[in-house]
A and B are shown apart, each in its own frame.
Chain A
């Protein structure tokens, strides 16, 4: 993608590309790109969800106007199956391919876990701030509370970043392989 995009940009046309593998896009070198942590077949969002797709497309087109550095990659803040506007999907057609509903359930569970940890981290931050303002006199209390905030942040990073990325890797690679083996994938 980056090769063709760069050639077209060199012919005097502005381009903006979507990528879900920003490290590959960065290595090849693309003029302008937008990335989000979605599976490879969903670069403009989930199927049958026009509000979500329109938001991602709008943001990407705006980035084409706003990005000023060659090679810039803008990361959108969305996560797979965690778009802020809920939509009941309406599909235009049936797919002949297999579908793994487990991946959607895992994504929903990670989403729930992420929100719980975020809430708890907020609670710990408030608790630490209260200790700072009104010291209890317990010697290690301030340090322990601030350590807990840092650990909650690290836990959130694992769920929100690494765990979600592992799920996308499974969707991207293993489901394709299984579909090819089953002969259903054309």
Chain B
């Protein structure tokens, strides 16, 4: 298993795609703002993977079927989050998100939210354990003001309270 990596350099095609995407967002969504991280934070893992408590986070709109679905009708998106107990049966999870094709995730949630796979890796000893709670948002937020001022701090606190060392994240 190699972990060679390179700093990501935009190719001209990627630059054009990014500019197109940003232009579409700015025209199509009232109140959209282009927010980027001014500095990248860095917290290295302080113990071997086999001792780490791992949790899941997704912006793919995953939630318990019994929970309130995300609001996909609001043109300004939905900045709220949902809690998912990691002891849940994955057949009780659903996706509410209208900005990516979740046909496959409807048939098998593990291709976006790999809770069953994480349990197998825990049983094999690759990770130390799974935190009791995972969290989810619906990633469509043209103006991330509420998301960053209210949801992100709440999520950081919630993940700390679960005792997680590492958060595995997928985006919708």
User: B-contacting residues of A (Cβ < 8 Å)?
Assistant: 1-19, 22-31, 39-48, 50, 53-54, 57-75, 89, 91-99, 171-172, 175-176, 179-180, 185-186
Contact = CB atoms under 8 A, between A and B. Distances in A.
B127 interface: yes
Instruction: Please classify the interface of chain A as helix (H, G, I), strand (E, B), loop, or mixed, using the class held by over half of its residues.
Output: mixed
A62 B104 contact: no
Contacts of B156: 7-8, 10-11, 13
Interface in B126-172: 126-127, 137, 139, 144, 147-148, 151-153, 155-157, 159-160, 164-172
Given A14-B167, A92-B107, A4 B101 contact: no
B49 A43 contact: no
B14 A45 contact: no
B117 A97 contact: no
A46 B152 contact: no
A1 B101 contact: no
B37 A3 contact: yes
Top 6 A-B pairs, shortest CB-CB distance: A11-B156, A10-B41, A29-B37, A95-B106, A47-B104, A1-B171
A41 B111 contact: yes
A8 B49 contact: no
B96 interface: yes
Contacts of B66: none
